[in-house]
């Protein structure tokens, strides 16, 4: 159990002279977020632009300065996020001087840099990803898949887009859902839901609000697989894959590339139905801040209609309010495994659970 009231945040910066400066006491509006479609973490804060050792803070913290955020629970201090200052805005208003800062972690350069790459047919996931990261001198911890892929060609592509295309291909080949994120100076390639501690959020003690919405606007219920066009431009239907037809016909098309077999195209059609073959669910949770929670983590929730295990799609930490907002996706496989007869699908009954925590419990 973690008690939120016991969490203490610290903010450290390292100016060019190498001295570590604790700016916690002059920091406000501290927050950091991992967006659903972003690879890097964005740290934002406002600091009072006071004098330190004869210099303004704005002279010590400038673009390129490393920033570290720590959280202390009891006697244990952990690094929760680090980044390098990229946006820097000193402001002087009516006698007060402040400094607005935005910093990004080691993944951010992969969003900004473009490159090209060519990988032959039969190349493995690990070979592609490690070659890309080695080329750019990015330290990494690879815990990803190692399946084989068809030929992949990247022309004038951002590094992050290359990685995402590889991850998407792994997913289409039923190799699992993987992603990249930075942790303590390294990029880790891991599967979604690999966290050892699974935090539990309950409406009775540690959940502020839970919002659930469902939308049928983008649903797909049938996928047809078509071959290459003939000389007249006609395409023949090679296979039809039906999903949940009770919602009517909502058809999508998968074009079979010459480099892929019909079986591979059928796998892609089934993957499309898995992704879009049901009502689109959007679920948002507001809870006391757990600074250690990351995008991709598995959590467990019991709040209103939000019941069971979920994956964190995005998370926004607010250290000032000690609250966080998370967007989550249902972990359908885990919930199917843990269904019980207590009327709460996906929630296990644990005799050792307590409701005394003001924060997230762990399994």
DSSP assignment of 158-224? EHHHHHHHHHHHHHHTT---EEEEEETTEEEEEETT--SS-EEEETTTT-SEEEEEEE-TT---EEE
Largest CA distance in the chain: 78
Taking only the tens place, the pLDDT of each residue in 32-58 is 999 998 889 999 999 999 999 889 999
Local confidence band at 352 (pLDDT 50, 70, 90 cut-offs)? very low
In a domain, 193, yes or no: no
pLDDT at 203 over 90: no
CA dihedral 235, 236, 240, 246 (to 10 degrees): 60
Indicate the average pLDDT of the chain: 88
Question: Do residue 210 and residue 294 come from a single domain?
Answer: yes
pLDDT at 14 over 70: yes
Q: What pLDDT was estimated at residue 349? A: 33
Number of domains forming the structure of the chain: 4
Q: What pLDDT was estimated at residue 1? A: 64
Q: What pLDDT was estimated at residue 23? A: 95
In a domain, 190, yes or no: no
Lowest mean pLDDT among 136-140, 188-192, 292-296, 333-337: 333-337
Question: Do residue 259 and residue 287 come from a single domain?
Answer: no
CA distance 335 to 344: 10
Lowest mean pLDDT among 217-231, 327-341, 344-358: 344-358
Measure the CA angle with vertex 317, ends 314 and 318; round to 5°: 145
- State what percent of residues in the chain have pLDDT above 90: 60
Question: Do residue 126 and residue 211 come from a single domain?
Answer: no
CATH code, 23: 2.40.10.10
- State what percent of residues in the chain have pLDDT above 70: 91
Taking only the tens place, the pLDDT of each residue in 181-191 is 999 999 999 99
pLDDT at 133 over 50: yes
- Other residues' Cβ atoms within 10 Å of the Cβ of residue 117: 15
pTM recorded for the entire structure: 0.79
Q: What pLDDT was estimated at residue 41? A: 95
Lowest mean pLDDT among 90-94, 125-129, 328-332: 90-94
CA 223 to chain centre: 29
Domain that holds residue 204: 199-215+280-362
In a domain, 344, yes or no: yes
Question: Do residue 22 and residue 124 come from a single domain?
Answer: no
Among 258, 276, 294, give the residue marking a domain's end: 276
Helix ranges (DSSP H) in the chain: 57-60, 108-112, 125-135, 159-172, 262-276, 332-337
Question: Do residue 95 and residue 171 come from a single domain?
Answer: no
DSSP 278: S
- The mean pLDDT value for 268-275 works out to 88
pLDDT at 155 over 80: yes
């Amino acid at each position: 159990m973690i008690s939120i009231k016991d969490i203490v945040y610290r903010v450290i910066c390292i100016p060019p002279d190498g001295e570590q400066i604790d700016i916690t006491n002059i920091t406000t509006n501290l927050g950091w977020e991992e967006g659903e479609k972003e690879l890097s973490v964005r740290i934002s804060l406002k600091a009072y632009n006071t004098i330190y050792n004869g210099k303004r803070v704005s002279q010590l913290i400038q673009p390129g300065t490393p920033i570290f955020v720590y959280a202390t629970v009891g006697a244990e201090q952990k690094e929760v996020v680090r980044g390098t200052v990229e946006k820097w805005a000193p402001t002087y208003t009516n006698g007060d001087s402040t400094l607005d800062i935005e910093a990004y972690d080691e993944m951010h350069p992969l969003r900004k840099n473009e490159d090209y790459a060519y990988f032959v047919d039969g190349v493995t996931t690990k070979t592609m990803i490690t070659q890309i990261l080695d080329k750019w001198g990015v330290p990494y911890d690879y815990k990803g898949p190692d399946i084989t892929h068809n030929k992949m060609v990247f022309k004038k592509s951002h590094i992050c887009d290359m990685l995402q295309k590889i991850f998407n291909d792994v997913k289409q080949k039923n190799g699992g859902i993987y992603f990249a994120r930075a942790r303590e100076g390294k990029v880790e390639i891991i599967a979604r839901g690999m966290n050892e501690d699974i935090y539990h959020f309950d409406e009775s003690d540690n959940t502020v609000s839970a919002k659930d919405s469902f939308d049928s606007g983008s649903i797909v219920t049938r996928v047809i697989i078509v071959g290459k066009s003939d000389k007249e431009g006609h395409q023949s239907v090679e296979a039809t894959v039906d999903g949940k037809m009770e919602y009517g016909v909502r058809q999508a098309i998968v074009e079979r590339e010459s480099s892929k077999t019909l079986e591979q195209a059928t796998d892609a059609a089934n993957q499309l139905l898995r992704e879009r073959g049901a009502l689109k669910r959007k679920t948002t949770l507001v809870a006391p801040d757990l600074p250690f929670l990351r995008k991709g983590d598995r959590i467990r929730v019991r709040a209103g209609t939000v019941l069971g295990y979920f994956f964190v799609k995005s998370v926004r930490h607010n250290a000032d309010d000690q609250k966080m907002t998370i967007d989550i996706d249902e972990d359908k496989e885990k919930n199917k495994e843990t269904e019980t007869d207590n009327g709460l699908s996906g929630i296990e009954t644990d005799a050792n659970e307590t409701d005394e925590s003001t924060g997230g419990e762990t399994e």
